[in-house]
Structure 1
Amino acid sequence: MALARCGKFLLSQRILSTSSRLQHGYIILLPEIGEEAPEKNPLYENDGLTKFNEITIENCRSAIAKQALEFELGIQKIESEIEENYYEDVFDSIIQPMEKLGIPMETTWGLSKTLYLGNNTLMPTSSYMAIHDRGRRARAAKYTSKKIHFAIKEAFLKETQRTTEENRILQKFVLEGKLNGLELNKKDSDIYSYHFGKLVPEKNQFKVKVDLGLKQHSQMIRDPNIVRDFPEDLLKATAINPNKYMSGPWKFTLLPQVYGPLMEHCPDPEIRSILWRANANRGSVGGERELATSLHVEEIRFVKRNMAKILGYETYVDMSMETKMAGSRLEVDQFIRRLLAYARPAQEAELQSLVEFANERGYKTDKLELWDVPYWRRKQQKHLYHYSDNDLKDFFPLNTVLDGLFQLCEKLFNIIIKARSGVSTWHKDVRFYDIFEPHSSAPVAGFYFDPYARSEDKIRLQNSGWMVGMQSRSQVTDTKPLAALIFNFEPPTGDKQSHLSFKEVKILFKKFGHSMQHLLTRTFYAEVAGLSNVEWDAVGTSGNMLTHWLFNEDVIASISSHYGSGDKLPKSIFDNLCKAQNHMAGLDLSNELYLCALDLELYSSNDFWLDIARRLWPQYKHFKYEWKIDAHPCQFTEIFLEEWGAAYYSHLWSRMLAADVYSAFYEVRDDEQQIKDVGKRYRDTFLALGGSQHSSQIFREFRGRDPSHKALLKSLGLKKNKEES
């Protein structure tokens, strides 16, 4: 269970609310064990990689059931030995036995998630969720055991000589236990469990209403002039009959994969206005009242606030900061203010330029509305930089991009990436690669690469890509890191191989960078290997860092080859591509900063959500807040359903860290040996240490100082604020 999350302890608290384990040990509900005997299950064959061609859903379910039960019984055994004072060293008697118990279960869990994302026919959603829930419940046992918690806490407080990694592991368990309420007295523990019991149904109802709200609005369009500038994929997504997408009719909806592109391409301002109002009104009491989410938003905030107070924190934000690199609300507020000083003036200038651009093209208005900006922004970008993401696809064949990506990582991190044939996979398109150190004959890690969209059996989301940590490095169990990279790129057609848009190239680089931290870790324990235990606001650093290399001419040359001519991406197009990425960067940054501030204030203030939004909006936004229509906080699923509550700023913080890390490479860009030296330092810190040290300390070891926001601003093309000291 990663320490990085602020709300992760809420998952394990479900066990507290349904058992009397705190006083009398665990109440274990015996899972259904599949009919197939374990010795026939290919998950148990110790011959290296999994034989995917032999795996069934029943294999996975029976394996996770057996391993989860063994894990829970093993935790009980450790508890009994603690009670009998049977243990001497906390690592020999508690930490290492738990790791040996946990690695097989975590590996089966990772395998099941890979199948779920890579072949939904082999692993349907309902089957995976059953496996996921079983694994999650079992894993929570080691973090919700009072006996284990206090034994580890006692050891942690003793002045014993340990490695930094060992101290970090003990610290992780102590904090996990505290956040799970293990140090509460009986009365407070009961109150805490009561509040948690209220949280789950509120979140479920919120999700149902948000999902239904997305499906409430639709417009039937029959005029071909409305869709004349639509790209092919948007025509297919909106056509009633995708096989006759040119002839229509077309249905406009609020589904995320459709709404965004519609707002960029629809030429009719009235249609854009209707779409925007319908989308902004979702969750509002002024819309479909039975789908209003306002009460659920307030109840979720209330419950989390009370849970934080019971644990001794002033606000839920203060509790969240326990597991963040930033460390305090004050630090995050200062971060937001520094960036806003650049973003807000830039936003004003950008919008004035956009109004003038629209006026010159016959759209006579003194100011643009919110629903006008995406449309005119796209047209202005095309005009200024002759840039369209899809127009560049012919320059980025997948195999060439992949070769260039591997070459970059081999140079920076001093590794060798080799394809291995004959490996069993979940689909014929899936490839497998080994990672070697220069001095090693055996691979140190490996990963599967599943590139193509498959509509019949693969989950597909807009711009989707996943990195699944299938198996963690552990010297305790002698296991090597294993990952799966799963994408939905356009498959080859005829004699033409798969080509990527530049957005897809960025997704590939980002997910591959993310995988490097999982695959190249050098820690002893899986508990802090790779991304485990990394502070949540630093988790995205490695992925974001690698995307900065896409704006290096040598890297672009290595990944580009035109479909017809084989030419590299011309410098003129490369220059425009770089400029286009920062088009209206001030507007985008202001919007992101607003959401960061909104999240923090929603989880620290007692004010009604609408009052908070009305107070913050004018500080960050150029436009008037149409508060009678716009209920955007009531759709903020990332902070109310997902793990970003009181942590949404983490997206931007990781981007800041990544830009600052990349600037270390950029500063020595003309010296090949110095670039390799910086790469080695990065490999030895961010990639090797994983969660075995605090992220702030790792950054200092790499950069020699604390992080600065200036590199991020430079990467966005935002000019320095002269008034800032």
Structure 2
Amino acid sequence: MSTASVDVANPLLQQEDLPKFASIQPTDLTPAVEDLLSKMNQDFDSFETKLTQASGSMEFEDVLPELERMQFGLGYAWGVAGHLNGVKNGDELRQAYEANQPKIVEAMSKFRQSKPVYDALSAIDEKIKSTDDASFALSQRRRAVESSLRSMTLGGVGLEGDDKKRFNEIKMKLASLSTTFSNNVLDETKAFSVTIEDGSKLEGVPDSAKAMWAQAHINSLKSKDGKEDEEVPEMDANKGPWRITLDMPSYIAVMSHLPDRALREQVYKASIQRASEQSNDKNNVPLLYEILKLKQETAKLLGFDNYAQLSLSSKMAPSVEAVRELSDLIAEKALPAAEKELAEITALAREKGGEEYSTENLDKLMPWDSTFWSERLKESKFNLTEEETRPFFALPSVLDGMFQLVERIFNIEVKKADGDAEVWNKDVSFFKVYDADSGKHIASFFLDPYSRPEDKRGGAWMDVCVGKSEAVQRDVPVAYLTCNGSPPVGSTPSLMTFREVETLFHEFGHGLQHMLTTASVGDVAGINGVEWDAVELPSQFMENWCYDRPTIYGFAKHWKTNEPMPEEMFNKLCEQKTFNAGMMSCRQLLFGQLDMELHSNFDPEAGESGKGESVFDVHRRMAAKYTPYSEPLPEDRFLCTFQHIFAGGYSAGYYSYKWAEVMSADAFSAFEEVGLDNEEEVKKVGRKFRDTVLSLGGGVDPMQVFKQFRGREPTPDALLRHNGLV
């Protein structure tokens, strides 16, 4: 291997431990990438020569672990850069990231398209298949080799000449387009705000929302004028002014609670038209078409009829038709429920909303009305408001309760370890995970819990900081858990909505699969190598515990008085679980089938030229099937912000949420069957879940993992029951 030197003063090259977030500057990225690329390319050239000379006599240890060691340094630095681009986005970092991205894409293509590597892995694959060894150690190797061969096939290893050249051009362009798409959404979300100075417009709005908007106004004064804290007036939630943004906590509060209908309409329309034709240089419409055309061309080059087929070739779902069948099976139950739910919401609006909601003035509820009146219906049905529950969901307590849960069922301990790692923002915390029996430190994670619209993209996600791998001698996996929850206001801690609590549990579920892996082959450790439509199993599984009594009472204490949540309130929360479950299911089915339709049957060439359906026509057509009660507005440009499929990994894969939810609900029903109040049995089932779903990672086929845990294949019965759709 090469001994090319690297600049060890560069914090991105200091990789013995955790990233040096306090030291990393955007200017560090280019020299780090160039150093690491130079070394990796030298090493890889020598490696290919060695493989060619060996002519098929290599063993597993000689190939994949070597490749992993070669790629580790660049992967580490680029992973840190990608993380910072999502949570600490700025012009300088953005420019450095975009400048280096083509180099990374080119380097990864070189690995995926190496004939010597492919031939060596094919020979190893034949050897592994010829053995009867059923051990987990061999299963990991088999899955890692199979995954690598599939990745190389889909990465163009079989292409030659002009096809190969064009394929690589497309990969480069798609990487650039997805980054631009995401940046446009972030910029457009940041660009919009409305300042309210008339307090009468906020009548009935919860105090927490008013405090959030008042704090947003103060923050905008600081950032706009660069004023010191002492120059800025104190935040006053009751006097304002109040600044509304399109950041998710702010937007949801507007849609749920703002009584001013015209203002709700303004904010709603601003949200659905972000990064569209209205946006000049931040317009994602041309990007939509170009991304779809390039993905379709990629699929054709690789011998597939469409991109959906290409996507499904590495997933559990066997076909586009199988995905549609599951969607339609659920829709058959969900759609009648959804239509009844909307009728009930509409009836309440007409009863309580005054003249503008009367039958004469309103044929049906507008999109900016539905969430507002849905909240009023929920409050009247259950005599419980979101504002009443928030004081019982202070983030520090929720974390304590979540950690108590995993200690109970998975036999681990989570301890705060702030100061043991550098962080990128003062609100980020660091934790260590220990095995409760041995006391061994087995994993760590960073938690970045609050929204920061100025430099952090929306949504919630888990990502890999450091993966477990014997090849690179990393035995302690480290995760990033990122949320965009309600931030603290003044001296009040972050008081979470119940949905934010569920989101935190969801991302922690992803983190647990990464952190509790016992796989040692890096390519299949944790979430690596897990089929995309199975990877949501542990995350959606964890959400179920938000309705478990011992779990809730482990953290639901009033942040001021420490009094536990009243019994009646908990019961109402549980009753609310299936409230609007029909509409929520249909919404997810729409997103999944819209994604699948765009990547299977849609002609982007004809759509862009106006000779066929536009992408927005497809949205309306799919909505007519899965949400016929709620037609998108003509100006709806939701697709221009659908980052999951245009700037993330969910292209022709958004259905995965529902696919995995079938498995997660069925998995949770194993705990229900032994009795959630039967502590000893719950612990036994929990250990089994840890030893299968959370432990085996991508080292075993996901259906086999599920069958090891459950003893059979999954059925949708538990999902339909949990959603009240039986």
Q: TM class, shorter-chain normalised? A: 0.7 to 0.9
Q: Is the 8 A contact 2:486 2:494 kept in 1?
A: yes
1:714 and 2:709 aligned: no
Are residues 1:705 and 2:704 paired? Answer: no
Q: Which residue of 2 aligns with 1:355?
A: 346
- Aligned partner of 2:53 in structure 1 is 84
Decide whether aligned partners of structure 1 residues 690 and 627 sit closer, same or farther in structure 2, where only a CA change above 3 A counts: same
What's the CA shift string for 1:23-70, capped at 9, x where partnerless? xxxxxxxx9x98xx4279696485x66676666667776555434432
Cα distance, 1:488 vs. partner? 5.9
Does structure 2 conserve the Cα–Cα contact (< 8 Å) formed by 1:87 and 1:93? no
Could you tell me which residue of structure 2 aligns to residue 381 of structure 1? 378
Question: 2:569 aligned with 1:569, yes or no?
Answer: no
The residue type equivalent to 1:443 in the other structure is: H
Instruction: State whether structure 2 residue 115 is matched by structure 1 residue 146.
Output: yes
What is the CA-CA distance between 1:130 and the residue it aligns to?
6.3
Cα gap change, 1:97 to 1:418, in 2 (>3 Å): same
Moved more, 553-562 or 426-435: 426-435
Task: Letter of the 2:442 partner, please give it.
Answer: V
Unaligned runs of 5+ in 2: 222-234, 604-612
How do 1:22-171 and structure 2 match up within 5 A?
37-38=7-8, 44=14, 64-85=33-54, 88-111=57-80, 124-126=93-95, 138-158=107-127, 159-161=129-131, 163-171=138-146
1:236 alignment partner in structure 2: 214
Structure 2 counterpart SS, 1:151: helix
* More off after superposition, 264-273 vs 52-61: 52-61
Of residues 111-120 and 417-426 in structure 1, the stretch that sits farther from structure 2 once superposed is 111-120
Paired amino acid for 1:716: N
Change (3 A) 1:495 1:40: closer
TM-aligned CA deviation for residue 697 of structure 1: 2.0
The equivalent position to 1:414 in structure 2, one of 403, 411, 414, is 411
Residue 587 of structure 1: aligned partner: 583
Contact kept, 8 Å, 2:56 with 2:119, in 1: the verdict is: no
Tell me the TM-score normalized by structure 1. 0.83
| Residue equivalent to 2:518 | 522
- Structure-2 separation of matches of 1:222 and 1:50: 44
Whole-angstrom distance in 1 between the partners of 2:549 and 2:561: 19
Alignment of 1:578 with 2:598, yes or no, is no
- C-alpha distance in 2 between matches for 1:221 and 1:710: 48
Residue 320 (structure 1) aligns with: 311
Residue 436 of structure 1 and its aligned partner are, at CA, apart by 3.0
Deviation at 1:705, TM superposition (A): 2.1
Partner of 1:648, secondary structure, is: coil
Q: Distance in 1 between matches of 2:91 and 2:639?
A: 37
Per the alignment, residue 388 of structure 2 pairs with: 391
Is residue 199 of structure 2 the alignment partner of residue 192 of structure 1?
Answer: no
Note the C-alpha offset of 1:183. 0.7
1:333 positional shift: 0.8
Q: Is the 8 A contact 2:526 2:696 kept in 1?
A: yes
CA-to-partner distance for each residue in 1:209-256, whole Å, 9 max, x for gaps?
Answer: 767766887767665332223321453377597756655666766665
Match of 1:692 in 2: 699
Change (3 A) 1:569 1:219: closer
Distance 2:478 2:365 in 1: 50
Q: Is the 8 A contact 2:466 2:478 kept in 1?
A: yes
Q: Give 3-state SS (helix, strand or coil) of 2:368's partner.
A: coil
Structure 1 pair 288/532, CA: closer, same or farther in 2 (3 Å)? closer
Cα distance in 2 for residues equivalent to 1:658 and 1:648: 16
Task: Give the percent of matched residue pairs that are identical in Structure 1 and Structure 2.
Answer: 29
CA 1:380–1:169: 2 relative to 1, 3 Å: same
Query: Structure 1 residues 442-451 or 107-116, which shifts more?
Result: 107-116
CA contact (8 A) 1:350 1:587 kept: yes
- Aligned residue for 1:147, secondary structure, equals helix
- 1:355 CA drift (Å): 1.8
Retained in 2: the 8 A contact 1:387–1:580?
no
Query: What TM-score do you get using the length of structure 2 for normalisation?
Result: 0.82
Deviation of 1:142 after TM superposition, in Å, equals: 2.8
CA offset at residue 118 of structure 1? 6.7
User: Quick one: distance in 1 between partners of 2:447 and 2:625?
Assistant: 44
The answer to whether the Cα contact below 8 Å between 1:660 and 1:712 also exists between their aligned partners in 2 is yes
Specify the alignment match of 1:476 in structure 2.
Answer: 471
**Shift of residue 328, structure 1, vs aligned partner:** 1.5
Query: Structure 1 counterpart of 2:469, which letter?
Result: S
Q: Partners in 1 of 2:193 and 2:414 — Cα distance?
A: 48
Query: Per the alignment, in what secondary structure is the counterpart of residue 464 of structure 2?
Result: strand
Cα pair distance change 1:52/1:593, threshold 3 Å: closer
Tell me: CA distance 1:686–1:129, structure 2 relative to 1, closer, same or farther (3 Å): farther
More deviation, 548-557/213-222: 213-222
**Corresponding position of 2:231:** none
Residues 90, 455 of structure 2: 8 Å contact kept: no
Amino acid corresponding to residue 44 of structure 2 in structure 1: I
Alignment of 1:142-541 (within 5 A): 142-158=111-127, 159-161=129-131, 163-193=138-168, 195-196=170-171, 199=174, 223-230=198-205, 231-233=209-211, 235-236=213-214, 243=235, 258-277=250-269, 279-280=271-272, 294-361=285-352, 362=354, 363-365=357-359, 367-420=364-417, 423-426=420-423, 431-440=429-438, 442-449=440-447, 459-460=455-456, 465-480=460-475, 481-487=477-483, 499-541=495-537
Write the deviation string for residues 601-649 of structure 1: whole angstroms up to 9, x where unpaired. 1111145235433433222223363664444445534323332221111
Check whether the contact 1:385–1:576 (CA below 8 A) recurs between aligned residues.
yes
2:648 equivalent among 642, 650, 654: 642
Matched AA of 2:111? K
514-523 vs 466-475, greater mean Cα deviation: 466-475
Contact 2:272 2:638 in 1 (8 A): yes
> Residue type matched to 1:232 in 2?
K
Which has the higher mean CA deviation after the structures are superposed, 274-283 or 354-363?
A: 274-283
Is residue 616 of structure 2 the alignment partner of residue 620 of structure 1? no
How far apart in 1 are the matches of 2:181 and 2:314?
26
| Paired letter, 1:379 | R
Q: Matched residue of 1:416: which SS?
A: strand
* Contact 2:623–2:632, Cα closer than 8 Å, also in 1: no
TM-fit CA distance, 1:96: 1.7
Question: How far apart, CA to CA, are the structure 2 residues paired with 1:623 and 1:75?
Answer: 57
User: What amino acid is aligned across from residue 471 of structure 2 in structure 1?
Assistant: V
Distance in structure 1 (CA, Å) of the matches to 2:313 and 2:435? 36
